[in-house]
Amino acid sequence: MRRSLLGPDHEAFRESVRAFVDRTLKPHHDRFIEQRHIDREVWLEAGRQGLLGLEVPEEHGGGGAGDYRFNAVLGEELSKVSAAMSSCLGIHYDVVAPYLVDLCTEEQKRRWLPRFCSGELVTAIGMTEPSGGSDLAALRSTAVRRDGDWVLNGSKTFITNGFSADLVVVAARTGPEKKARGITLFAVETGMAGFERGRKLDKVGQPESDTAELFFTDVRVPDGNVIGEVDQGFVHMMQRLPQERLGSSIANLAHAGQILEETIAYVKERKAFGQAIGSFQHNKFLLAELVTKIDVTQAFVDRCTEAHTRGELTATDAAKAKYWSAEVQNDVLDACVQLHGGYGYMTEYRVARAWMDARVTKIWAGSNEIMKELIGRDLEL
C-alpha cells in the first residue's frame, strides 16, 4: 500500500540522505563496530549535508524545516544501516534539539546551535540514573545554589553519546521538597571541573554506539547553562518525550522492515530439500504475517507522525506507537533469525546483529511496561 505521509520534497530529501549513508556510513560501518564509536568525521559530514539542524532556525545555522516528516525520513534511512546509527544521531537532531530550540535563551542559542548544526558540538541527554530507570521523578542527582552558581552532584547511566558528547543536557533535583516539580535541566559541557565519564558500557548489541556512565562531583554550572525554567525540568521532559518515543517508533519499524526485506530475498535463494525455503507453507505463512504486521503498524506510526507534524500527537498515542513498534520489531527480527537457521546466529550476518541491537527498544525511551501504564491511565483505570 502506498504511503500517503510523504510528498515529493520528503522523497527528494530521502535521496540525499541515502547518498550520505552510502558515502559516509556503509563503507566504514564495520570499523565503527570494531572501535565501538562513530568517527567525529561522520558528525561533521552530517553537518555539512544539513542533516543535524532540521529543527533549528536558519538564523542559528539550521535548516528550519518546520516539518517533522523530514526527521522521520532521516530516522528511517539511518535505521536501515543499523539501530545504533539512528540512535546516536537521533539523540542529537531529534531528542536534544527541541530542548535547545524551545527552551534556550537567545544567548544560549547563539552559543550552542551553530556548532550543534555543524557537528562540531555533539550532544547527549542525561536522564537515566543507576537507581531510577524509567522513574524520572525519582532522580537523585542534585544541584544546589552556592556562591552564584549551581553545584551539581550525582551520576547518570546508559547515556547514548555519553562518551563523546561535548554537551549533555542533565536533569537534576533542585527542589527536594517539590518531588517531580523540583527538577531542573542543565547544560554540562566537556571540560567543566568535576564532570567525568566512566567506562564505555559493553552492551549486548549496538556496539558502535558509545554508551557511557557519567559522574558529576561538585560541578559548578553557571546560570547561563540552565535550560528552561528552574524547577520545571520534569514538565519540560514530559512535553518532549512524545517526540522521542515517536522517533523510536519510526526507527523500530524501518530497522525491522529492512531486515525483513533482506530475509525475504534470502529465503527465495536458500534451498533445502530441493526447493527454496520460502516456498514451504509454514515459512510462506510466517512471512505473510510479518509483512502484514509491519504494514499495519506503519499505518499507525504514519498517522502519529502526521499528528505530531500538526502539533497534535498525544502522550498516549506516542506510548502506543513506541510500545507496539518495539514488540513488532522484536517479533519480526526473531523470526528472521529463525528463517536464516544457524547462519542467523552468526554475528557476521546482519540479521544476527539486528536481532541483538533491537532488544533494547522494549526498554529505552520508557520501558514497554511504562508505556502500558500510561495507556492504562488514559483509560482511567
Mean pLDDT along residues 45-66:
97
Which amino acid makes up residue 167?
L
Whether 129 is a known active-site residue: answer: no
Q: Has residue 243 got a pLDDT over 80? A: yes
Mean pLDDT along residues 99-118:
98
The overall pTM is greater than 0.85? yes
Residues 6 or more apart from 351 whose CB is under 8 A from it?
Answer: 259, 262, 263, 333, 336, 337, 340, 344
Mean pLDDT along residues 192-210:
96
Mean pLDDT of the chain: 96
Strands 149-160, 123-126: pairing is: unpaired
Q: What does the pLDDT read at residue 296?
A: 98
Per-residue pLDDT reduced to its tens digit, 146-167:
999 999 999 999 999 999 999 9
Q: What does the pLDDT read at residue 175?
A: 87
Which amino acid makes up residue 93?
Y
Question: Which residue in the list 34, 244, 312, 348 is annotated as catalytic?
Answer: 244
Per-residue pLDDT reduced to its tens digit, 162-198:
999 999 999 999 987 787 889 999 999 999 999 999 9
Q: Has residue 133 got a pLDDT over 90? A: no
Q: Has residue 145 got a pLDDT over 90? A: yes
Q: What does the pLDDT read at residue 135?
A: 76
Residues 6 or more apart from 333 whose CB is under 8 A from it?
Answer: 256, 259, 351, 354, 355, 358
Q: What does the pLDDT read at residue 178?
A: 80
Mean pLDDT along residues 338-360:
97
Mean pLDDT along residues 101-116:
98
Q: What does the pLDDT read at residue 77?
A: 98
Q: What does the pLDDT read at residue 314?
A: 98
CA distance 221 to 326: 37
Confidence of residue 131 (pLDDT cuts 50, 70, 90): confident
Mean pLDDT along residues 112-117:
98
Q: Has residue 204 got a pLDDT over 90? A: yes
DSSP characters for 15-43?
Answer: HHHHHHIIIIIGGGHHHHHHHTS--HHHH
CB 78 within 8 A of CB 13: no
Per-residue pLDDT reduced to its tens digit, 253-292:
999 999 999 999 999 999 999 999 999 999 999 999 999 9
Mean pLDDT along residues 343-351:
97
Phi-psi sector, 228: left (phi>0), alpha (psi -120 to 50), beta: left
Contacts 24+ apart (CB under 8 A), 128-135: 128/156, 128/157, 128/158, 128/159, 129/154, 129/155, 129/156, 129/157, 130/155, 130/157, 133/367, 134/366, 134/367, 134/370
Q: What does the pLDDT read at residue 180?
A: 82
Mean pLDDT along residues 349-359:
98
Mean pLDDT along residues 226-246:
97
